[in-house]
Amino acid sequence: MIKSYVVHIWSRLVSVGLLGLSASLFAAAWPQFRGPHASGVAVGSFPTVFGPKTNVIWQVEVPPGHSSPCIWEDYLFLTAVEGEKLVTLCLRRRDGQELWRQAVTPDKPERGMGATASPTPATDGRRVYVYFGAFGLVCYDFNGRELWRRPLPTPVTQHGSGTSPVVAEGVVVVNRDADVDAHLLAVRAEDGQTLWQVPRPDVRRGFCTPLIWPPERPELVILPGTLQMAAYRLKDGSPVWRARGLPNEMVASPIFGDGLFFAAGWTPGAGVAVLPSFDELLAQGDADKDGKISRDEAPAGTARRDFTYVDADKDGFIQRAEWDSIKAIYEKSENALIAVRPGGQGDVTETHVVWKQHRGLPYVPTPLYYEGKVYLVKNGGLFSCFDARTGRPFYQEERLGALGDYYASPVAAGGKILVCSQPGMAVVIKAGETLEVLARNPMGERIMATPALVENRLYLRTQSKLYAFGESSDAVNPKPLSP
């Protein structure tokens, strides 16, 4: 009874952005991807109408990157790419002035959509932790002094690295899902030394940012991956539970609200692709009879379209074991939004999956839990809203009037939700059981990064700029830190 009460109270705090820390502290922090405790929710509000010439507090040119701002008081951290260098920037939040920048150079750059500095930094208020797939982890103090670095092998994926680090209880956790050697890694925040590393042998490439739960006393790391969402103990990485019912590739991150964990995933062909046996594949395409399929030999269909995905070891051939593995995964793949009740041990699919939905699913953007509802945005500008407790749809796949793909995750504050399309339209929606668009704000540039909300200010990164928007021109004067 006590445990269920605590879960209920925590979920209500999520809806208003008060998670374990004081409201005043949260008002001045957006410390990781999707903000305080990965909720995507801030106290206060943000301007409804804004743009390159409207409600601009400041704007600065920034190098290319897809990461979000990470904010602690007057410090704003951002990652970027400059040529072959992977850069960490620190700006003064009140006016956008650059305080410092540091760079690392990988042996070999990543390629793909997620290679452009996609991981968002994380901070615990003492240090800032950055992750680059092509390099590994680097830690700086707030003055830009490098404290430690932890080089890591580049994950074998097709799209680069999109997952962001998270930090709690002196532990930095990174999702290292890949086509080869998928694992979850935890290092000591103080020096980057390995605390534990848990293999995920049934998982292929994935791009979710882990969720550490509960925030007031962190115990679990929640991480979706191929076909399932899983929970691990923060202290040692030991597996706790897993819930099946997801697609073969997971991009959107997990969320929590109303006493439930949520995970949503969509990939082409999930649940409908029927693959031939490997012997049938050889009969169709193995022209040189060497018992494997090269890219040139791959017949039309999954083998050709998803060759890089199937070729797990990236040796240029589809081998029997690789094909059999993908065939088994595709047969179980399911595009879905699932709601999972905390608790249980082992496979909890039959006992703890509370509800499931199959429409309106995002490919990249993380769902948003806000005020008792779960919101999803789908490519094409289709927006959906569900009752968090029951899964009952309030509306599904209604048009935002902003076409295009969607990469940025929705965020919320003050009864409003902000959704940004890749082509550069920032749509403000009134939260509620019906879709009401309050404003469509064209930014004139692509938007890939999830916005940050701090002290009634909106921090939005576009293709070449970082903006701070507010409904007043009054200067932001947070208390400077001296970490």
| Number of Cβ atoms within 10 Å of the Cβ of 403 | 14
Query: What proportion of the chain, given as a percentage, has pLDDT over 90?
Result: 81
| pLDDT confidence of residue 472 | 67
Which residues of 177-299 form beta strands (DSSP E)?
183-188, 194-199, 211-213, 220-225, 228-233, 239-244, 255-257, 260-265, 293-294
pLDDT of residue 342: 97
| pLDDT at res. 1 | 37
Predicted confidence (pLDDT) at residue 133 exceeds the cutoff of 60: yes
pLDDT for 114 beyond 70? no
Q: What is the 3-state secondary structure (H, E, C) of 311-368?
A: CCCCCCEECHHHHHHHHHHHHHCCCEEEEECCCCCEECHHHHEEEEECCCCCCCCCCE
Given a cut of 60, whether residue 13 has pLDDT beyond it is no
Identify whether the C-beta of residue 318 lies closer than 8 Å to the C-beta of residue 298: yes
> What distance lies between CA 254 and its chain's CA centroid?
8
The continuous run of DSSP H or E covering 26 comes out as helix 23-26
> Do 341 and 259 touch, CB atoms closer than 8 A?
yes
The pLDDT tens digits for 426-453 are 999 999 999 999 999 999 999 999 999 9
Domains of the chain, each with CATH number or no CATH: 2-268+359-469 (2.130.10.10), 278-330 (no CATH)
Q: Which of 130-144, 170-184, 311-325 has the lowest mean pLDDT?
A: 311-325
Give the pLDDT score at 126.
97
User: pLDDT value at position 343?
Assistant: 95
What is the pLDDT, as a whole number, of residue 238? 98
Buried b (16+ CB within 10 A) or exposed e, 43-56: bebbbeebbeeebe
Residue 476: pLDDT over 50 = no
What is the band of 10 on the pLDDT scale with cuts at 50, 70, 90? very low
The answer on pLDDT for 480 being more than 70 is no
pLDDT by residue (tens digit) across 31-71?
Answer: 999 999 999 999 999 999 999 999 999 999 999 999 999 99
As a whole number, the mean pLDDT across the chain is 91
Q: Each residue of 61-82: pLDDT tens digit?
A: 999 999 999 999 999 999 999 9
Closest CA to 457 of 121, 125, 59, 78: 59
Q: Which residue has the higher pLDDT, 472 or 238?
A: 238
Mean pLDDT calculated for residue range 363-382: 98
Choice between 268 and 173, residue whose per-residue pLDDT is larger: 173
